[in-house]
Structure 1
Amino acid sequence: MSANGNATKPPTILEKIYAQRQKDVDAAKATPGTRPEELDAYLQMGLAPSLIPLVPRLKTNPSTATASPSLSLMAEIKRASPSKGDIAPHVNPARQALLYAQAGASVISVLTEPTWFKGSLLDMRLVRQAIEPLGAARPAVLRKEFIFAEY
């Protein structure tokens, strides 16, 4: 019950995820190596990987090297979800990404939320590093996350 005698609703899963992500972002901002000013410096040094625009990549499948309309596949690295529980908790994201790329995926989506989806930024980095040798034909990498702040 609330102070005025009304029953309080339990938080929704999205409210729980949002509250946890706020804590996670605050912790990351205070961690040496991931503070905002350090991330800005890394970008200025050119340490960020080159970007692949998502929409053009979906419109032109790199595995077929054609600009004509073709089937584009978006693959996903997902360890778990709040509704399904564990899906692939022990997946090797680098190996899985390479398999997806070799099968013709245009985009690889990586869930990075750690508490309910059991993902991480390391998963995304490993995916990116695994497909880097494919050069311009590599799939685009899409981060799936609950983003609420510029950080």
Structure 2
Amino acid sequence: MTILDKIVERKRIEVAEAKAKTTLQQLEQYPLFGRTCYSLKDSIENPQRTGIIAEYKRASPSKGLINGVSTVQEVVQGYQDAGASAISVLTDSDFFQGSLTDLTAAREVLQLPLLRKEFIVDSYQIAEAKAYGADIILLIAACLSPDDVQSLAAYAKSLGLNVLLEVHNEEELQRSISDNIDAIGVNNRNLKDFSVSLTHSYDLVNKIPSNFIKVSESGISDPTTIKNLKNRGFHSFLIGENFMKTANPGDAMKNFVNELKG
């Protein structure tokens, strides 16, 4: 059983527990449920911004605790000030020490698109994302069938959310493409064994149709890498661990961006 299998198995239990506590109808009454989402495309295309999706991540299955000190609001505010195009917040509790309240806390201080980084296996989690202030949801091809991707993406779009599809290889890409997807992310980290290689991004960039925002995710720790990825055709870059492992993630991103501009 891979780590991804374990996470998905746990997720199904979590969703059943969440549904027993709060119905879909109750989620639809949450104040944030009715808000209009920010556009990921507009934010990424804004020349004042960097294309970086900066992530708040306390811990991970491969690294354990990364940062147990910096608060969500101070970090995401720092990211926004440093030029992030969007913000990603991990909401998985068991493996990443995140929560839905982290999402709402981030929403309070942001004027940028906010991604609920989660292992989505049920449309209920998409309704939760909307109710807690997200603008973007993540669908991971490695743990969803093509039919699941289609139906979950369509539901997300019906709520006005942006959809980021994450793939790891060409087979996942080809089987999962849908008109209801806004962005396709290539995860350089293999979710089955957590090894990282940027080759995945370089191999897939030209296989992603040009109507999608192209995102390279994970393993990016050097501004030169972003320049290379941009030259190859990527529009956006998800970075979390590189900033989160420092004492001040917002400052770390600011320094990174200054180097990128230099």
In the alignment, which of 44, 52, 62 is matched to residue 58 of structure 1? 44
Pick from 6, 13, 18: which aligns with 1:28?
Answer: 18
Q: Does the aligned pair in 1 maintain the 2:54–2:86 contact within 8 Å? A: yes
Pairwise CA RMSD of aligned residues? 1.7
The CA deviation at 1:90 is: 3.1
How far has the Cα of 1:60 moved from its partner?
1.2
1:4-19 to structure 2, matched below 5 A, reads 11-19=1-9
Deviation digits for residues 77-132 of structure 1 (CA, Å, limit 9, x no counterpart): 0011111111112330011111111111110111111110111111011000022x
Of structures 1 and 2, the larger Rg is shown by 1
Deviation (angstroms), 1:50: 2.6
Question: Are the counterparts in 2 of residues 89 and 118 from structure 1 also a CA contact under 8 Å?
Answer: no
Identify the structure with the greater strand proportion: 2
The residue that corresponds to 1:149 in the other structure is 122
For 1:38, give the aligned amino acid.
Q
Q: Runs of 5+ in structure 1 lacking a partner?
A: 1-10, 65-69, 132-137
Superposition TM-score, scaled by structure 2 size: 0.45
Return the letter of the residue paired with 2:16. D
Q: CA deviation at 1:147?
A: 0.3
* Residue aligning to 1:89: 68
Deviates more, 1:138-147 or 1:46-55: 46-55
- 1:12-58, CA deviations, whole angstroms, 9 ceiling, x for partnerless residues? 11111011111111111011xx221211233xx76543301112211
Instruction: Write 1 or 2 for the structure with the bigger share of helix.
Output: 2
Contact 2:50 2:85 in 1 (8 A): no
Partners of 1:46 and 1:73 in 2: CA distance: 25
Cα distance in 2 for residues equivalent to 1:95 and 1:71: 19
Q: Would you identify which runs of 4 or more consecutive aligned residues in structure 1 move more than 4 Å?
A: none
Aligned to 2:35: 49
State, as a whole percentage, how many aligned pairs show the same letter: 38
Report the count of equivalent residues: 124
- Distance (Å, rounded) in 2 between the aligned partners of 1:141 and 1:17: 22
Task: Work out the CA distance in 2 between the residues paired with 1:83 and 1:46.
Answer: 33
